Amino acid sequence: MRRQSKMLLVSAASLIVILIVAIQVIEFSRKLNQHVVNLTDEQARLIIKNELPIGTSKLSVKRFLDTKKWFYADDGSIVQAIVYDASHSFLVRTDIVIRFSFDSKDELKSYEIKHFLTGP
């Protein structure tokens, strides 16, 4: 009877260890497949439409980008901004690039939004 008790105890302990490992593997797998979205193209488009109407001055656009902490480069009639890590999963990161075009009076005439899939 003593040997059976030991075997039962070892079996129960093994089962507990297997369950704990299985739970950890499932949790790790869930985290790997999680897709975190910080900003979508559509959200960026809506923000810009509401806060930067056509005709907005270049200075106001740059101030807006500064407040959002979106990196940008001013190339004369074009200001190109990038939103790093707009969304990400285990293997893919998405950045959003926004290209603002200005007329000769430095007023916003159009903008274009694209997303780029990059590495981790």
- pLDDT tens digit at each of 120 positions of the chain: 577 778 888 888 888 888 888 888 767 666 555 545 577 778 888 989 999 999 999 999 999 999 988 899 998 899 999 888 767 676 777 888 999 999 999 999 999 998 877 766
Q: Which residues contact 80 (CB under 8 A, 6 or more apart)?
A: 72, 73, 97, 98, 99, 100
Query: How many CB atoms are closer than 10 A to CB 60?
Result: 15
Helix ranges, the chain (H): 2-33, 41-51, 58-68
CATH class of 36-118: alpha beta
The domains of the chain are located at 1-33, 36-118
